[in-house]
A and B are shown apart, each in its own frame.
Chain A
């Protein structure tokens, strides 16, 4: 068998849409990385006349918002914010979900019952309301937003990991590990988890997409960190001008749409690669 990286890419490449998704994401990442180079000043600074339409002034190719802030600068800096919030929130959700799902699936019985009822409590709370309440209580800081999104997104991971663990814990290689006296923690981490992780990676990529949307919703409602440029914040800013200067909403809206679409396409592509049922298609 070839080098695993080339093998991975060979299979990923077969899904054309997933390659497009990856390309879009690369553009977004490039935007985020190059933002400090092209727009070295604070993107929230007032730099020009208000409500300048795109393509009318060479200094502000995408125009300015209601306060005269450069939309291109805000989009570029917002890309980084959006991606970091998405990734960290997904990491938080995956960590909680894997921890709870692994314990429930491996031990079963009472542990499983208690942890799954706990998961169900989180599943029954309306996500956005819970997130709003959390951020409203803790204060609109980026850390709180990330933790809040993580707290509402982990339940699906927990259920998935639990199901994987329940099938894997009966496999003979796990029995062999128990027979040699391996501790539960070591069995969970070194034996079962590596085999349970591929579908979790797929789900985690979709949670990144969900987190981007949640952050945008928060920012739109003015509950995200006001001191950081973000796409949702820009839409929230622009909604008062929707009839006259609709581009203020439309440009960041397009950016969110494309990024979320790209993340979903990548999730599909990863699923094709990592789902063993389709391996030899």
Chain B
């Protein structure tokens, strides 16, 4: 049994212009000590999924089972008893800390709310947490504005791990940081994971960050997961055309490799989640789209062990190999733009 198990989760928002299908039927399991990366472009619903798991956004359908307890429909009081198991690290280190509170107070708050120990025990734990995340012990009486972005994120991490959670949802936790700081925070997160046995759901639009930290990676597109695979496997053989496009968009340092590697550029912009395309949601942008893709929605199906993909064009051959659309295969489809200006 997975630590966190999400089934058919949907989160829809009613807006004056119609219903936004931010999360539209997601299945996901996270095991104990596992780090799952969740990637996708802005607006694909990955943050909404993270918030729905914490029930900061109420899901419309589906279930969230955490540590064998279905928390989807728990009332506030009952939910409060399970909250300590999942915590969140937020994207913006400036908006995620109360500017009027001291650092000591910010880190102690989750302990106070959950009735953790005596006053002295809490203070000891706060001191321990400060040390764990690498902040000086004189931070207690200071305010968040006295710290840099990276240090503020350390404060946010200390707050998130204060309650000894089993899972921490990192919602773009390093995206707002300078590149040099980013590596430090990722190292801190991996150290904490190994030491405290944490699981992470690591939400990011940045594949290179996910590559560093994730065991398994989910690729999300317009509210649905289109591919899940072990990290090495996904990087070695991305099957879904969308995953291939994301991989091809990661900047490479070596200009020689950059010049030689395949360029795949999707057509169009991300369609509005107000009115997602029928059939395969990616067909409007897919360079390999077939008539079938427009009419029929491909299910997410497992192939050879732990890689799953939702694409009609990916097929398992009789000999066990997998056929999937690539640029190498035959002539490129007409609608592919090879490095030409749009």
User: CB within 8 Å of B: which of A145-200?
Assistant: 171-173, 175-182, 186, 191, 194-195
Contact among B96, B100, B163 for A172, CB-based, below 8 A:
B96
Contact among A171, A175, A181 for B83, CB-based, below 8 A:
A181
Binary interface encoding of chain B residues 143-162 relative to chain A, with 1 for a CB under 8 A from any of its CBs, else 0: 00010000000001001000
Whether a CB of chain B sits under 8 angstroms from the CB of A278 is no
Binary interface encoding of chain B residues 233-260 relative to chain A, with 1 for a CB under 8 A from any of its CBs, else 0: 0000000000000000000000000000
Binary interface encoding of chain B residues 39-61 relative to chain A, with 1 for a CB under 8 A from any of its CBs, else 0: 00000000000010010100000
Whether a CB of chain B sits under 8 angstroms from the CB of A1 is yes
Q: Is A176 within 8 A of B88, CB to CB?
A: yes
B74 → chain A, closest Cβ, in Å? 12
Q: Is A179 within 8 A of B87, CB to CB?
A: yes
Whether a CB of chain A sits under 8 angstroms from the CB of B79 is yes
User: CB within 8 Å of A: which of B63-88?
Assistant: 79-80, 83-84, 86-88
CA distance A198 to B159 in the complex (A): 27
Q: Is B90 within 8 A of A176, CB to CB?
A: yes
Q: Is B110 within 8 A of A180, CB to CB?
A: yes
Q: Is A179 within 8 A of B83, CB to CB?
A: yes
User: In the complex where A172-B90, A173-B95 touch, is A179 in contact with B54 (Cβ < 8 A)?
Assistant: yes
CA distance A195 to B96 in the complex (A): 13
Contact among B79, B92, B98 for A191, CB-based, below 8 A:
B98
CA distance A175 to B146 in the complex (A): 22
Contact among A1, A176, A195 for B159, CB-based, below 8 A:
A176
CA distance A40 to B84 in the complex (A): 64
CA distance A191 to B163 in the complex (A): 19
- For B83, the chain A residues whose CB sits under 8 A away are 179-181
A239 → chain B, closest Cβ, in Å? 49
Q: Is B91 within 8 A of A172, CB to CB?
A: yes
A186 → chain B, closest Cβ, in Å? 7
- For A186, the chain B residues whose CB sits under 8 A away are 113
Q: Is A182 within 8 A of B56, CB to CB?
A: no
- For A177, the chain B residues whose CB sits under 8 A away are 109, 113
- For B90, the chain A residues whose CB sits under 8 A away are 172, 175-176
Whether a CB of chain A sits under 8 angstroms from the CB of B114 is yes
Q: How large is the interface on B (under 10, 10 to 19, 20 to 34, 35 or more residues)?
A: 20 to 34
Q: Is A175 within 8 A of B100, CB to CB?
A: no
A149 → chain B, closest Cβ, in Å? 30
Closest to A195 in B: B100
Whether a CB of chain A sits under 8 angstroms from the CB of B99 is yes
User: In the complex where A181-B79, A181-B84 touch, is A172 in contact with B95 (Cβ < 8 A)?
Assistant: yes
CA distance A194 to B109 in the complex (A): 15
- For A181, the chain B residues whose CB sits under 8 A away are 79-80, 83-84, 113-114
User: CB within 8 Å of B: which of A22-63?
Assistant: none
Q: Is B80 within 8 A of A1, CB to CB?
A: no
Whether a CB of chain A sits under 8 angstroms from the CB of B310 is no
Closest to B114 in A: A181
Q: Is B56 within 8 A of A179, CB to CB?
A: yes
User: In the complex where A173-B97, A175-B51, A191-B98 touch, is A180 in contact with B109 (Cβ < 8 A)?
Assistant: yes
- For B109, the chain A residues whose CB sits under 8 A away are 177, 180, 182
Contact among A172, A180, A194 for B92, CB-based, below 8 A:
A172
Q: Is A175 within 8 A of B56, CB to CB?
A: yes
Q: Is B113 within 8 A of A176, CB to CB?
A: no
A155 → chain B, closest Cβ, in Å? 26
- For B98, the chain A residues whose CB sits under 8 A away are 173, 191, 194-195
Tell which of B86, B92, B98, B163 has the most Cβ of chain A within 10 Å.
B98
- For B80, the chain A residues whose CB sits under 8 A away are 181
Q: Is A182 within 8 A of B97, CB to CB?
A: no
B168 → chain A, closest Cβ, in Å? 11
- For A175, the chain B residues whose CB sits under 8 A away are 51, 56, 88, 90, 96
CA distance A177 to B159 in the complex (A): 10
CA distance A195 to B97 in the complex (A): 12
Contact among B54, B113, B146 for A182, CB-based, below 8 A:
B113
Q: Is A180 within 8 A of B95, CB to CB?
A: no
Q: Is A180 within 8 A of B56, CB to CB?
A: no
Q: Name 17 extra pairs, CB < 8 A, besides A179-B56, A181-B79, A191-B98.
A: A171-B96, A172-B91, A172-B96, A173-B95, A173-B98, A175-B51, A176-B90, A176-B96, A176-B156, A179-B54, A179-B83, A179-B86, A180-B87, A180-B114, A181-B83, A181-B113, A186-B113
Nearest first, the 9 A-B pairs at minimum CB distance are: A172-B96, A181-B80, A181-B83, A180-B110, A194-B100, A172-B90, A172-B95, A173-B98, A182-B113
